[in-house]
């Protein structure tokens, strides 16, 4: 006999099917491309900011080439940190 229980399980299966299709087809692809666009600038921006900070501090303290070199590498490290953070966030979303 067709009991209410039977109907419930069928509804569940149908619902999960709808959910799967929705996510895999549209949203996932969109968010993947969004993520791809995100990572590149994340890396470059930190290097640029680090270098600018180094340049400003250099003109302040009159230590011309040194701080800009140090802050360039610190900026590169910050860029990698940004990318790692963004990647962690992406993993958490999935």
Partner 1 sequence: MASNPMQQFTVHRIGPEIKIAGVDLSFTNASLFMVISASIIILFLFLGSKEKKIIPDKLQLITEMFYTFVAKMISDTAGSKAKPYFPFIFSLFMFVLLCNMVGMLPYSFTVTSHIIVTLIMALFIFVAVTIIGFIKHGFKYLTIFVPSGVPAVLLPLITVIEIISYLSRPVSLSVRLFANMMAGHTMLKVFGGFVVSLGVLGGWLPLSFSVALTGLEILVAFLQAYVFAILTCIYLNDALNLHH
User: Locate tokens 């966030």: which residue?
Assistant: 89
CA distances from 80 to 10, 41, 93 (A): 48, 11, 20
As measured in angstroms, the least distance from the Cβ of 10 to partner 1 is 27
Report d(CA 92, CA 2) in Å as an integer: 41
Nearer to partner 1, 68 or 74 (CB): 74
As measured in angstroms, the least distance from the Cβ of 79 to partner 1 is 7
As measured in angstroms, the least distance from the Cβ of 78 to partner 1 is 4
Q: Which residues bind partner 1 (CB under 8 A)?
A: 30, 33-34, 37-38, 41-42, 44-46, 48-50, 53, 71, 74-75, 77-79, 81-82, 85, 89
Report d(CA 69, CA 53) in Å as an integer: 11
């Amino acid at each position: 006999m067709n009991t209410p229980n039977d109907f419930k399980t069928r509804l569940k299966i149908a619902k999960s099917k709808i959910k799967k299709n929705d996510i895999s087809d549209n949203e996932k692809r969109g968010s993947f491309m969004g993520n791809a666009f995100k990572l590149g600038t994340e890396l470059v921006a930190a290097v640029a900011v680090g270098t600018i900070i180094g340049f400003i501090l250099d003109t302040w303290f009159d230590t011309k080439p040194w701080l800009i070199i140090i802050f360039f590498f610190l900026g590169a490290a910050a860029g990698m940190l940004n990318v790692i953070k963004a990647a962690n966030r992406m993993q958490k979303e999935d």
